[in-house]
Amino acid sequence: MSTTLTGLTSAEIAELLAVKPFQGRQIFKWLYQKKVFDFEAMTDLSKPLRSTLKTAYAGHTLELVEMQVCARTGTKKALLRLHDGESVESVLIRDHDRVTLCVSSQVGCALKCDFCATGLAGFTRNLDCAEIIEQVLFLLAGEPMGDRTPNIVFMGMGEPFRNYDTVMKTIHLMMDKEGLGIGARKITVSTAGDIPGIQKFAHEEHQVRLSVSLHAANNTLRSRLVPLNRKYPLEDLRDAILYYQETCGRQITFEWTVLQDVNDSVQDAKELLQFMQHIQASVNLIPWNPVQGLPYAPARMDRCQAFSDTLARAGVACTIRREKGQDIDAACGQLRRTHAV
Ligand code: SAH
């Protein structure tokens, strides 16, 4: 396997190649702004540099196996093969002018949330920077974005806080103005409630958003749905979130995957309100996306609505996320499983 230049800053590229900083920036722009991976096509580089690059480096590390596009919604799902034969999926969701990319941070996941497809096959390994950023580059290549930048959510496979340093470095790469130039507030890291990760994230200087996947606000139910709750129960999670907000002052979002007759009642909404006291947060209800073999059903829309109304009456902003990729199995948090690569 030859080394790739994706996943590196322009300064790191210049250092690795022992070229001038401006040449590092030229290559960086080809990769991130033009999404060109073919060194021959990087026409402002000298011929000798181009041929050195061609012999010693690969343009990208991921191989695109398949890109499914939903004609009705414009949702795209990329199935990408890693150098060791593993695979990841990433999704682009279009909502009018708004484009959201859902990226993976790990192959598989160790947390095994009871309703999630990713944990079923267990945890394989962390992704590196190149493998995360290339998901974005592959999805954006050829996508008519104009001057707009996409939103990025770490809601694909894996727990981003279990791959903390790599995810933070990749976020900086995404924000680099000479590259993708994505604003910090357009990037969201979603955690199942990893307390050390939340505490560390409180001290990051950028304004990247935090989402906490809650799904239940009593310990009995949450420990069943999110086994990580046995290690970090709700009281401790609440303290960590309060610490986060005291430290950085940023609002968060609670994700609540709504499962029929499990966590979709008005009583569940009231428990959530209780939990949220003194926390500045909005709530995202995600109707469960069916996963074959798992004993759950998506909550009915009238139940989601009643849940949402309960929150709204208490002054909490709540959105019901209507999945846009169901017909190609492309909902975030539900990736890869239907394919054998
Ligand atoms: N580990 C992180 C990020 C990955 S999952 C986390 O837990 O936040 C992103 C979101 O999708 C989480 O809220 C997760 O609980 C949710 N999710 C997982 N499987 C789902 C499914 N089948 N339907 C709907 N939401 C799902």
| pLDDT for res 121 | 85
Residue whose CA lies nearest to ligand 1 atom number 26: 333
Question: Of 36, 58, 80, which marks where a domain is finished?
Answer: 58
- Whether 180 and 196 share a structural domain: yes
Do both 99 and 222 map to the same domain? yes
Q: Is residue 336 in some structural domain? A: no
Give residue 59's pLDDT: 87
Q: Kindly state whether residues 291 and 153 are assigned to the same domain.
A: yes
Q: Is residue 340 part of a domain?
A: no
Q: How many whole angstroms separate alpha carbon 126 and alpha carbon 163?
A: 6
Judge if 302 and 211 occupy the same domain. yes
Instruction: Tell me whether residue 134 is one of the annotated catalytic residues.
Output: no
Alpha helices in 249-284 (DSSP H): 266-276
Question: Beta-carbon neighbour count of residue 313 at 10 Å?
Answer: 10
| Residue after which a domain boundary falls, among 58, 79, 96 | 58
Query: Is the domain of 288 the same as that of 305?
Result: yes
Cα(259)–Cα(166) distance, integer angstroms: 32
Ligand 1 center from residue 116 Cα (angstroms) = 6
Structure tokens at 305: 């609505």
- Range of the structural domain that residue 181 is part of: 63-328
Tokens (6 digits) for 194:
């990893």
In a domain, 96, yes or no: yes
The pLDDT, as a whole number, for residue 8 is 95
Last residue of a domain, one of 58, 84, 99: 58
CATH of the domain at 53: 1.10.150.530
Asked if residue 156 is part of any domain, the answer here is yes
- Does one domain contain both 210 and 75? yes
Q: Is residue 335, in this structure, part of any structural domain at all? A: no
| Ligand 1 atom nearest to CA at 154 | 3
Shared-domain flag, residues 83 and 13: no
Q: Which of 89, 159, 255, 323 is catalytic?
A: 89
Residues 31 and 81 in one domain: no
Q: Is the dihedral of CA 43, 44, 49, 53 positive or negative?
A: negative
Torsion on CA atoms 41, 47, 52, 55, rounded to nearest 10: 50
- Identify whether residues 143 and 231 lie together within a single domain: yes
- 34/67 same-domain check: no
- For residue 208, being part of any structural domain is answered with yes
Q: What pLDDT does 326 receive?
A: 54
107 and 45 in a common domain: no
Q: Which residue has the tokens 């322009």?
A: 10
- What pLDDT score does 2 carry? 60
Residues of the chain with pLDDT under 50: 333, 336-341
Amino acid at 35: K
Tokens 């030229």 locate to: 26
Query: Of 109, 129, 304, 332, which residue is the catalytic one?
Result: 332
Residues in the chain: 341
Q: Ligand 1: which residues within 6 Å by Cβ? A: 113, 115-117, 155, 159, 190-192, 213, 255, 257, 286, 288-289, 291, 331-334
Residue 339 covered by a domain: no
Pocket test for ligand 1, best of 132, 155, 296 (most atoms within 8 A of CB): 155
User: Are residues 196 and 302 located together in one domain of the fold?
Assistant: yes
Active-site residue 143, yes or no? no
DSSP code for 192? S
For residue 216, the domain's CATH number is 3.20.20.70
Choose one of 212, 257, 296 to mutate for the ligand 1 pocket test, by most ligand atoms within 8 angstroms of C-beta: 257
Number of domains the chain contains: 2
